[in-house]
Amino acid sequence: MQRRVVVTGLGWITPLGTSLDGVWRSLCNGESGVGPITAFDTTNFDCKIAAEVKDFDPVNYVDKKDAKRMDRFVQFAVAAAGMALKDSGLELGKEDLNRIGVVVGSGIGGMITMEAQMKRLAEGGPGRISPFLIPMMIMNMAGGQISINFGVKGPNFSITTACATAAHCIGEAGEIIKRGDADVIITGGTEGAISPLGFGGFCSMKAMSTRNNEPKRASRPFDKDRDGFVMGEGTGILILEELSHAQARGARIYAEIPGYAATGDAYHISAPEPTGEGASRAIKLALAKAKMNPKEVDYINTHGTSTPLGDKIETQSIKNVFGEHAYKIAVGSTKSMTGHLLGAAGGVEAIICIMAINHKIVPPTINLENPDPDCDLDYIPNKARNMEVKVALSNSFGFGGHNGVLILKKFTA
């Protein structure tokens, strides 16, 4: 019998806050976490807005000395992992730590640290570079620091697939449990790259919204007047657990992950394949692995970034799979409120799907005022909807043609 994978703990750091229930309320109320950038001077930047994490102090979660040796994306990850572990009720002192692993990735990694050290190199030469530069900035250090901080010794690695990072991490973490290499995995994605270089790179691509005078209305997925995504930061961490292990300790089970798939577009470094074939194939494969009929899907948390091409093509990819049933599915984008958290997006959005299943409500797509004729599905415009969600699907698509799809299901014994 195949081992079943369930979710027993949740933790997030978001532009709307860090409380599980508090952020959920904000999402259901249609609140936006977007505002003018405070991290650096945007005078010479075309885009001046982002979805920043506010009032985050790492010393509330890790030792002050250790915090100084972590980049922002790592601080987020360790903090959210602690929240998720606490939420799960796992007592690590009673567990076989060799059977608890970590799969946490980042799309960009320690950009803030790299910029700071490049400045020191330019101003003072190589002797001014910190010996902690490399272990602060490399992608895998979020998972490494989680392992070190909580003493877990199972499989530990990172996946980096741009904006599909967290979805791939969660999906592959589930595969590790299914094949029996671990009983528990701490997994998700993390990002903290709102810095002049990281931000400036996206500006140069003309990928971001320049609705600077109306930041809370800037992220507008599926709206005819959308002009690009809004960059965000944060972390979404889940505790995945083998079902019998969770049941043996009397864990609360939030949801089950019965299906996951990853595909490649083989098309372009940043643009999605025009017919949505790669994304459609990922959805179909995930449904097949879950042994589900497409008509069982109630809610899709879309990639929905608010880019002119991306939203249109994702809409088409959904129609490719679901046909007429696509019009009966609630298809929302919470990036309208959180901004695009890049490598962390799939983690936060998987948690949103799980909360929708447990609270019987789906958050809205805000700022949807002038629907794009090419985007004609039910995007839950501007107001949350009370509805039963038994099966949710979470889409994540990354630069380079990386597609990741997770299926989250109401748990039944």
DSSP symbols for 330-349:
EEE-THHHH-B-GGGHHHHH
Q: Residue 296: exposed, middle, or buried by beta-carbon count in 10 A (0-12, 13-18, 19+)? A: middle
Residue 407 inside a domain? The answer is no
pLDDT of residue 161: 98
Per the structure, the count of domains in the chain is 1
Give me the CATH number covering residue 44: 3.40.47.10
Region at 342 (left for phi over 0; alpha for psi -120 to 50; beta for the rest): left
C-alpha 216: how far from chain center = 20
- Say which of 47, 163, 169, 353 is annotated catalytic: 163
pLDDT per position in the chain (413 positions), as tens? 789 999 999 999 999 999 999 999 999 999 999 999 999 999 999 999 999 999 999 999 999 999 999 999 999 999 999 999 999 999 999 999 999 999 999 999 999 999 999 999 999 999 999 999 999 999 999 999 999 999 999 999 999 999 999 999 999 999 999 999 999 999 999 999 999 999 999 999 999 999 999 999 999 999 999 999 999 999 999 999 999 999 999 999 999 999 999 999 999 999 999 999 999 999 999 999 999 999 999 999 999 999 999 999 999 999 999 999 999 999 999 999 999 999 999 999 999 999 999 999 999 999 999 999 999 999 999 999 999 999 999 999 999 999 999 999 999 98
pLDDT of residue 2: 85
Helix (H, G, I), strand (E, B), or coil: what is residue 129?
A: coil
Q: Kind of pairing, strands 184-191 and 100-105?
A: parallel
Residue 251 inside a domain? The answer is yes
State yes or no: is 163 an active-site residue. yes
- Say which of 168, 245, 340, 402 is annotated catalytic: 340
Question: Which is nearest to 326 in space by CA: 270, 269, 274, 395?
Answer: 395
Structure tokens, 27: 């999402």
Residue 328 inside a domain? The answer is yes
Residue 2 inside a domain? The answer is yes
pLDDT of residue 175: 98
CA distance 232 to 16: 11
> Residue 157: which domain range?
1-402
- Say which of 245, 303, 375, 402 is annotated catalytic: 303
Residue 410 inside a domain? The answer is no
pLDDT of residue 113: 97
Residue 70 inside a domain? The answer is yes
Residue 308 inside a domain? The answer is yes
CA distance 64 to 223: 44
Instruction: Judge contact between 23 and 16, C-beta under 8 A.
Output: yes
State yes or no: is 340 an active-site residue. yes
Alpha-carbon distances of 137 from 56, 155, 166, 187, 306, rounded to whole Å: 19, 21, 18, 19, 29
Residue 268 inside a domain? The answer is yes
